[in-house]
Structure 1
Amino acid sequence: MSVKLNEKLLESLQVAIQQQNNRFIQETLKDKHAADISVLLDQMDALESKYILRLLNPEMSADIVADLEEDTRKGFLKNFSSEELAGLMDYTDSDDAADILNDQPVKVREEVIALMQNSEKAEYIIDLLHYEEDCAGGLMAKELIKANINWNIKQCIEEIRRQTKNVEKVYTVYVVNDKDTLLGRVSLKKIVLSTDDTKIKDIYVSNIQTVQTYYSEEEVAEIMRKYDLEVVPVVNVQGKLLGRITIDDVVDVITEQAELERQIMSGLSETAEVDDSIWTLSRARLPWLIIGMMGGLLGAQYMGFFENELKIVPAIAFFVPLIQATGGNVGIQSSTIVVQTLVGNPFDGKSLGSRLFKVLLVAIFNGIVISSLVFGFVMIFNEMNMAFVVAVALFNVVLIASLTGTITPLILDRLGVNPALASGPFITTANDLIGLAVYFTVAKLLFSI
């Protein structure tokens, strides 16, 4: 979590738990945000965390449990009986409750739902458990405020008062017909400014963005980003209003997706956390490490073909690291920019020509600058021919690496493969081999060896 851990506060709370100083704990935490408390509990053992939760009000406890890191929460809730867990779920938002119970064994899940006092919340959770976690149905919360299109403002306000006890944040009021089909929305501002006898149908907005339950979480995030939405309603194929997805849920999705992309681009084949087992961490890293190793072996083998040339002009070997490092860096830069551009944007063949032309111009400019600097530096310590070979090779490597780093993720995206795979070790290894080929070919031609 991004909230900074207060080490002194953590230590004082642990001492208070040992001394059973309940008053100190309650006074210390009464004005704290649930997210801040969850950071503290992440660093405590399960029994300490449970001790603190028992001293807080149910609503706060539910929010804290929902904010806990997933691995911490799983271990923590093992110490809860079905009755205690049911008490927490009564005060937890339906989407968070479904996520929490989805991690529990089926038997425990059924017991908890059966023991919940809030029967409406229990029904919400049962409904949400039918959806996959990574789709709109799995992201949505059932709690929302809706009003019938035939109501007037007075009826609408009365309904808002009735429904808000179950809705933590009210963004808008959804307008439905007698069959709960979503027709539009009406803002709280319009409701407040309208007279009691004003009809909802006269002030509501019908043109709204919606998502269906089967939409992927990435599609939901893109829609909310594109239209700058704080909340988006979820409907089924018949248009019936089922729930809503709020911006905080989408922020979590974006964060997780960014973390996944970072790990893939750094050469991890699957998501991995610091606290994972040695086997899990190794399994995530080894595939791309092996590919990188094979690329290095191929590079060494390729250099072996030029053994005689290296004997004649040993200085050629001095600049191999420069060629490889420059090619890898340029390729990584190009592929990273393309991957970021492709996030949420489908492949557009019409823009490929202009994109490649722009990349080519940038590569030519960068190649001229870098090769000129290197030419001047090499001239100080070597003869003209060596400086010319390195500069020409470096210019071509920059050019080829830029195009490779741009085209590869575009092709992968076109084939339906995650374009982030084109970054990191893949591009580095490919450009190492290409760079060596270009360098030694130029050296052989210009030195006539």
Structure 2
Amino acid sequence: MEFKISRDFIAQVEQYIEENNEVQLQALLKDIHYADIAEIMEELDSSDASYLFHILDSEKTAEILLELDEEIREKILKNLSAKEIAEELDELSTDDAADIIAELPEDKKEEVIQELVDAEHARDIVDLLRYDEDTAGGLMAKELVKVNENWNVLTCVKEMRIQAENVQRVHSIYVVDDDNRLKGRLSLKDLLTTSTKTPISEIYIKKVDFVKVNTPDVEVARIMQKYDLEAIPVVDELGRLVGRITIDDVVDVIKEEAEKDYQLAAGISQDVEADDSILDLTRARLPWLVLALFGGFISVSLLESFNAAMKHHKELFFFTPLIAAMAGNVGVQSSAIIVQGLANNSLSGSLWRRLIKEVSLTLLNGSILAILLVLGSHFLLGEGFNLALTVSISLISVIVIASLIGTFIPILLDKIGIDPALATGPFITTSNDIFGILIYFSIAKVMLGF
């Protein structure tokens, strides 16, 4: 059952902290999951959060560190000595420990690494720090279970027992050669049902999915999602097994990528959060607002160029917001589907087939909307048939163009190496507003004559 944090519970924690009542605090938090304790600490001020952190045992606080918001974690780590931080990291797997060390100032990084008790653990962490955080090398952990292809089953089992002591969860058993090159994987069923004298080389599975240390993290996530993998091995440039990536690390990547794409689609040019400074939020939002402003200037200029329409057919301007809104909505819908397909690598067929399909879909939707518009404008608003027909033809034309823009732009951006999520939101909306107004009044000029 999920633990729910209430205001009364937080008040109780704050009271015990104020009374320095460590016994009651530890009793209160004893059976609460570390992720929930991290959430509790985020509700406290920094001094109370630090106090709470210090009274808990290191096995639990190490996991709490991983769950904390970066800003809170930074404040807590700032109040810990290098030795205290090292004690926390000794409880964590190498990938998680490396992530925390990477957030420390350079001078403190060296101090913490020197204070690590386990020399092999320290070497593995230092090795992981060499890789970019957005690659497979930056995601992987060093802890894994591997066996040599030249061993027999009995030797394999003995070695696995030793290795498993340092692995929190055994997802797969990897097979390597004498040079540590990845050869395949070993089925636990085959291991249990085969004679102890049987060489591993005769029973291991040679087909194994893997990634290289420089594979982008989003590509790792895509592969694991596609093949439904709980873990995937990582090899270096020579094909040597250097680590593994587990599903929990990939979930974080998917979440971060989704948040980034959502912000890009909303017109926010960098990763920000609600609690960031006004200056940071301004830098993230202002560029796209400036783009929208210039787009608005262009739209106003286009409207001004159709002054004659204002004199002879003022009613045309009543439908301008409708045309612009439909263009923006259709463009965003089309681009969202394409961006999602590109992210999931699920788009198939040629670009022309994709465009033809989108145009066909839009013509069907546009025709239905046009009929509703003719009926509504003629019978409900009392407009003339010629005007209703003009607006309807314009609507179909506008949403066809909008769908083409919404389809083509994300694919083009992806081809030239730019995040296609940029295509959605303000970019598509602004461009379709401009094209919508231009097409609408151009068709009206031809059909109504002004």
TM range (shorter): over 0.9
Aligned counterpart, 1:264: 264
Cross-structure match for 2:230:
230
Corresponding residue for residue 88 of structure 1: 88
**Letter matched to residue 403 of structure 2:** S
Give the 3-state SS of the residue equivalent to 2:243 in structure 1.
strand
TM-score by length of 1: 0.95
Give the secondary-structure state (helix, strand or coil) at the position aligned to 2:229.
Answer: coil
Q: Secondary structure at 1:403's aligned position in 2?
A: helix
| Structure 2 spans left out of the alignment, 5+ residues | none
CA contact (8 A) 1:46 1:79 kept: no
Match of 2:106 in 1: 106
The 2-side partners of 1:3 and 1:287 are apart by 41
* 1:351 Cα deviation from its structure 2 partner: 1.6
**1:427: which partner in 2?**
428
Partner of 1:50: 50
The Cα shift of 1:130 comes to 0.9
1:433-444 equivalences in 2 (<5 Å): 433-444=434-445
Match of 1:147 in 2: 147
Which secondary structure state, in structure 2, belongs to the residue aligned with residue 273 of structure 1?
coil
- The answer for the alignment partner of 2:128 in structure 1 is 128
Partner in structure 1 of residue 27 of structure 2: 27
Is 1:365 paired with 2:344? no
**Alignment correspondent of 1:374:** 373
Q: Would the alpha carbon gap of residues 178 and 43 (structure 1) be closer, same or farther in structure 2, given more than 3 Å must change?
A: same
1:311-390 → structure 2 map (5 Å cutoff)? 311-345=311-345, 351-380=350-379, 381=381, 382-390=383-391
Normalised TM-score (structure 2): 0.95
Deviation string, structure 1 residues 136-191 (Cα, Å, up to 9, x no partner): 11111011111222223333232232222321111011112222222111133333
Name the counterpart of 1:253.
253
Letter in 1 for 2:278: I
| SS of the residue 2:48 aligns to | helix
Evaluate the alpha carbon distance shift between residue 161 and residue 17 of structure 1 in structure 2; reply closer, same or farther with a 3 A threshold: farther
User: Which residue number corresponds to residue 211 of structure 2?
Assistant: 211
Give the residue type in structure 1 aligned to 2:60.
Answer: M
Q: Partners in 2 of 1:429 and 1:25 — Cα distance?
A: 55
CA apart distance, 1:347 = 8.0
Structure-1 separation of matches of 2:25 and 2:201: 51
SS in 2 for 1:54: helix
Note the C-alpha offset of 1:411. 1.3
Q: CA deviation at 1:41?
A: 1.8
**Structure-2 change in CA distance of 1:267 and 1:114 (3 Å):** same
8 Å contact kept, 2:341–2:347: no
Distance verdict in 2 for CA 1:351–1:8, change over 3 Å: farther
Query: What secondary structure, in the 3-state scheme, does the structure 2 residue paired with 1:343 have?
Result: helix
Q: CA deviation at 1:26?
A: 2.1
**2:234–2:242 contact (8 Å) kept in structure 1:** yes
Which is worse superposed, 245-254 or 143-152? Answer: 143-152
Displacement of 1:217: 0.6
Q: Report % sequence identity.
A: 43
Deviates more, 1:40-49 or 1:369-378: 40-49
- Residues 188 and 28 from structure 1, CA distance in 2 versus in 1: closer, same or farther, beyond 3 angstroms? farther
Residues 288/124 of structure 1: CA separation in 2 closer, same or farther (3 Å cut): same
CA contact (8 A) 1:146 1:173 kept: yes
Within 5 A, what are the aligned runs for 1:54-73?
54-73=54-73
Question: Counterpart in 2 of 1:277?
Answer: 277
| Residues 136 and 217 in structure 1, CA contact (< 8 A), matched pair in contact too | yes
Whichever residue aligns with residue 355 of structure 2, its letter is: L
How many angstroms apart in 2 are the aligned matches of 1:47 and 1:196?
Answer: 58
**1:154 & 1:52 partners in 2: Cα distance?**
48
Cα deviation code 1:249-275 (max 9, x no counterpart): 111011101111111111111111111
Residue 70 of structure 1 aligns with an amino acid whose one-letter code is E
Q: Is 1:448 the counterpart of 2:449 in the alignment?
A: yes
How much is the aligned-residue C-alpha RMSD, in angstroms? Answer: 1.8
Give, in whole Å, the separation in 1 of the partners of 2:103 and 2:43: 21
Question: CA–CA distance in 2 between the matches of 1:379 and 1:260?
Answer: 45
